[in-house]
Structure 1
Amino acid sequence: MIGRPISRIKRVVLSALSVLLLLLSYTWISHRQHQINPQDTTIPSWGQLAEGAKKFTQPDRKGHRWLIEDSIATGKRLAAGISLGIIFGFLIGMFMGCIASVEAFLQPPISLLAKVPQTAALAVYFVFFGTGMKMYVAMIAFGVIPALAVTVYLAIKDIPSEMLDKAYTLGASHFETAYEVVFKQVLPKFIDAVRLCIGPAIVFLIAAEMVVGDVGFGYRIRLQFKLTNMNVVYPYLVFLAGFGYLLDYGLRFLQSKICPWYQNDSK
């Protein structure tokens, strides 16, 4: 039957099998490639990957650990950009959904900006913001604001008018209606939208770091790729994926705690 839930044990087993299949597939591809060329570094063996992990976890000649330096740099840029995007995306969406004149004024530019590929607009960000921290923050923020604003706007439009009328009938003010009805209906969907924006935000940041960065994951990946040190590139990609997964898991946990009504409705 379509949509029928499965047991927790079965879900865990299937999830573990999918990861195991991925690891076995990589092992087989790497083994086959090394049979053709034992010195191959494009698809490193597990031993080569372990050597690569030592490079970015142990101090280099200057006493710096790549992983720590890059994590701090990329993390700061991502946190600042995402935070700014969340604040402005939510406020713009709320005003568009609640005030018709604001909707008419902002809907065209928001819809237009949502279609602009951020990586193609890198040169524009360089011109307006330079190549420092401001550029990274602006690129991430402008990249996620349209999607978040549209999500909030559409979520407000989905609220039944009867629910708003009932709140006003019971004597609620505009602010009370906006908070007790609109905000609580929008918040869980907004968190879902933030979860979906994590991946694109990381892509925007890595692309910018690969072009002009002097530290960060994008910079390190570009540098090691030029040296064909794929035993460093692959672990960095895995680390980025794990970081994104932890952020997603954290947002899901936050949603379950502050929006229990949404979790109950979705079961």
Structure 2
Amino acid sequence: MRRVMNMQPGRARWLLALLPFALIVMVYVVGSAQRRAENPSDKVLPPFGEMSSAIHRVAFEEDKRTGEYLFWSDTGASLERLAIGLSIATALALVLGLLIGLLPIGNAMFAPMTAVMSMIPPMAILPILFIVFGLGELSKVVLIIVGVAPCLMRDLVFTVGSLPREQLVKAQSLGASTWQVLIRVALPQALPRLIASLRLALGPAFLFLISAEAISADSGLGYRIFLLRRYLAMDTILPYVAWITLLAFLMDLALAQLSRRAFPWAHGAEPKA
């Protein structure tokens, strides 16, 4: 008897992947049509035609006040903040995670503090960041760093700390110094895990970014969404949300491809995700 757990989708994989999205679209279309039939002025579930017109207006028509294409200027501002925050957070996590995970002295001194910092809710300290760093760009970037770096660092500490002891002993037996063990043994095995952790951190990073932009910003995807909510402009808000989701998905896909190409040995026959 063939078990369901042993069935492989094969060529139907893409069809199965698209099916949930098609169901969501169908439910939305039906719900939008029903609400419009009851109330022609309904703004909660705008038809796709209205969303297309709205996104064309903000993406391909200059804003009369600023002369900018708002959709692209918002995207650029948000991606710049996100890129700076994630880059700094990743660099900190890589350096400190390797040192804390490999050096017993560093682990004893900084591992407890890393664990505590990873438990701090970033949104709870957002007002503190605005007070300390002001309402400009710095506070938004720092929020991403504070929200992402400790978790990346702690995960990397676990990864390095769980390396087989015999690898470290053999490397030292061959004359490797602490620096060489760090670079040639720990680093290559930590990088695939760091990329995987960064993929998981993309969602929270976007959350921190959108939240900071919603509170204090004059541009950005989060700023535009929370500005338009005052007017119930769902025809623009929903495409913005879909665009943020697409950006996060493309970044996740790029990181996955980078990991598979740079470290194929770390993936083996793992399922695609």
CA distance in 1, matches of 2:225, 2:44: 14
What is the aligned counterpart of 1:130 among 113, 134, 148?
A: 134
Structure 2 residue 250 is matched with structure 1 residue 246: yes
Show the counterpart of 2:241.
Answer: 237
Residues 147-187 of structure 1: CA deviation (Å, up to 9, x unaligned): 11011100012211112112222333322222222111111
Letter in 2 for 1:12: W
1:240: how far off?
Answer: 0.2
Residues 265/158 of structure 1: CA separation in 2 closer, same or farther (3 Å cut): farther
Letter in 2 for 1:60: D
- Look up the match of 1:221: 225
1:3 Cα shift?
5.9
Letter in 1 for 2:85: G
The equivalent residue for 1:65 is 69
Could you list the runs of 5+ residues in structure 1 that have no partner in the other structure?
A: none
Give ranges in structure 2 of 5+ residues lacking alignment.
Answer: none
**Counterpart residue identity of residue 148, structure 2:** V
Q: Secondary structure at the match of 1:215?
A: coil
Q: CA 1:4 to 1:174, structure 2 compared with 1: closer, same or farther past 3 Å? A: farther
Q: Is the 8 A contact 1:148 1:193 kept in 2?
A: yes
> What's the secondary structure of 1:264's corresponding residue?
coil
Work out the percentage of aligned pairs sharing the same amino acid: 29
Counterpart in the other structure of 2:216: 212
In the other structure, the counterpart of 2:201 is 197
- C-alpha distance in 2, partners of 1:117/1:26? 34
Cross-structure match for 2:155: 151
Q: Is the CA contact 1:221–1:233 (under 8 Å) kept in the aligned structure 2?
A: yes
CA contact (8 A) 1:55 1:232 kept: no
Deviations 1:109-149 (A, max 9, x none): 22122112212211110111101111111110111111110
Equivalence for 2:265: 261
Q: How many residues align?
A: 267
**TM value normalised by structure 1:** 0.95
Letter in 2 for 1:224: L
Does residue 94 (structure 1) correspond to residue 106 (structure 2)? The answer is no
Q: Once structures 1 and 2 are overlaid, which stretch shifts more, 134-143 or 106-115?
A: 106-115
Q: 1:21 aligns with which of 1, 20, 23?
A: 23
Among 74, 78, 83, which residue is 2:78 paired with? 74
Q: What amino acid maps onto 1:154 in structure 2?
A: F
TM norm structure 2: 0.93
